[in-house]
Amino acid sequence: MTVQDDESRTGQLMEDDDGDLTDMLGELRVLLPTAQLLSAFLIAVPFAPGFRSIVQAEKNVFLATFMLSVAALVLFTAPAVQHRLMRPLRQRANFKARASRQMLVGAASLAIALVLATQFVLSEVLGHVVGNIAAAFIGALIGVMWLLVPLDWNRRQDE
């Protein structure tokens, strides 16, 4: 086998892999429970006895958190529903690219919801200063782990 044949074969494997939905399914299996758990928690919050006594600003934070959490659920489940409705799937690579974009938007929604949930809960328990500091820390942690680490990894792979 020549080097050119090997490069052609490698390129074909990469194209085939782009249509393989297994890795995307695995990623959704990690992300979806987080959005589900957060949404379930948020559904119960308004029925807690003290919810009526929180200030309007915190109710607005709750509303934004809830809406972002549910949006993440919708965006994470959309590829599965779309895949079922589009059967047989003819252009797997195109479907995977679109589904990946939906998942990234869902991850952004989930990230913001996690930051707001941190602020909401800790502001009620420990005060607004602690809640805001903790939310900023979680936002920074998400930024580092979800954005900077992969970018750094890609940069190092290109060297």
Domain span at 72: 3-158
Nearest C-alpha neighbor of 86 from the set 17, 16, 21, 13: 21
Query: pLDDT tens digits, residue range 78-132?
Result: 988 888 888 887 888 888 889 889 999 999 999 999 999 999 999 989 999 999 9
pLDDT at 7 over 70: no
Place of tokens 């915190």: 58
Q: What mean pLDDT, rounded, does the chain reach?
A: 86
pLDDT in tens, 31-53: 889 999 999 999 999 999 989 99
CB contact set of 138 (below 8 Å; sequence gap of 6+): 114, 115, 118
Element (H, E) at 98: helix 92-126
Q: Are 82 and 24 in contact (CB under 8 A)?
A: no
Q: What is the pLDDT of residue 27?
A: 85
Question: Per the structure, how many domains does the chain have?
Answer: 1
Which pTM does this prediction carry? 0.80
Residue 82 CA, distance from chain mean position:
18
